[in-house]
Amino acid sequence: MAQQAYVTETAGGGSGPERRGSRLRHVAARVADGWRGDPRIWRRGLIVAVLAVLLAGVMVVHAHIPNSVGNLGSLTETFLPWLGLFVPVLLLLALVRRSAVALIAVLLPAVVWLNVFGGLLTDKAGSGGDLTVVTHNVNAENADPSGTARDVAASGADVVALEELSDAAVPTYEAALASTYAYHAVQGTVGVWSRYPLSDVRPVDIKLGWIRAMRATVSTPGGELAVYVAHLPSVRVKLEAGFTARQRDTSADALGEAIADEKVSRVVLLGDLNGTMNDRALKAVTAQMRSTQGAAGSGFGFSWPASFPMARIDQIMVKGVEPVSSWTLPQTGSDHLPVAARVRMETSAP
């Protein structure tokens, strides 16, 4: 009887993953039969298909969207990766409408998005390297600067850049980081802390009228490294003016000129650039430097806002050194996440 009961249960289709798989195949077969028997599948869903084509077009020609009206081009490029979220929405609509045309059209934005951003989804981080660097916009209104400083020092970085330093908070950061970093320099609202000696420290004029950028030469065991720290002006999205970024764009051009004139062959830029690598307004910088996240990171590395990161506006960029790995650090008392990278010093600038 026991054997007969067992045979009967098995003959009933089994249970667990095999039975669930059988049910899914049955449902899929019924859906396919329904689609094959419906001649309207090629006539429905034209609006969804048009939206899919438009979405693909925006991702393809984003560099040609004009900035003359509210800096619409830069706004689109800042949040360009998020356009991919519309793909599954359009796919669902195509399935609901039972439209073959819409399903085919949805393939276009999916392929374009993967072509543009698919490389960021793979882990490109390597091992080794000579130097770890960190940049962090600490937020002038940070209620716990001491805790933020301890968190940054715990990262094990050799060189740390801090932005948005208030006059009142600078002594706190200096005291909290003194035991880890023997050398430091502050210029205006930005500063650099280093395990290795600093020289040729000076502000960098980014056309603001006050100091929000600096450079210093760090004498690392692998040779001299020019470290730039910058906090470009903020951008705003306003209904009456669109994406207001003119001051940021002017400062980016000035920063790019300063880096282009740098005499030291190895350069690292650390800072809050208030823009992503897709933003054409940063081309004066991005055209001559490599993003560590793009070259040696995993994922998008979004850094702002810290509570729900939506964009990577905090950047580590290099010229004349080789990125090995790049990552974000846990949230501190700031509204930005700290960003870190490991680089290899042996590569010479082209």
The domains of the chain, with CATH numbers, are: 38-121 (no CATH), 131-344 (3.60.10.10)
In this prediction, residue 60 carries a pLDDT of 94
In this prediction, residue 42 carries a pLDDT of 83
pTM for this predicted structure: 0.83
Structure letter (DSSP) for residue 45: -
Nearest 5°: the CA angle 192, 318, 140 is 35
Phi-psi region at 200: left, alpha or beta (left = phi > 0; alpha = psi -120 to 50): left
In this prediction, residue 348 carries a pLDDT of 47
40 C-beta neighbours (distance < 10 Å), count: 12
In this prediction, residue 26 carries a pLDDT of 61
Peptide bond into 109 cis (omega under 30): no
Residues of the chain with pLDDT under 70: 1-21, 23-37, 69-70, 236-244, 347-350
Nearest-Å Rg of the Cα atoms of the chain is 26
In this prediction, residue 7 carries a pLDDT of 44
In this prediction, residue 205 carries a pLDDT of 98
| Interval 108-161: pLDDT, tens | 999 999 999 998 888 999 999 999 999 999 999 999 999 999 999 999 999 999
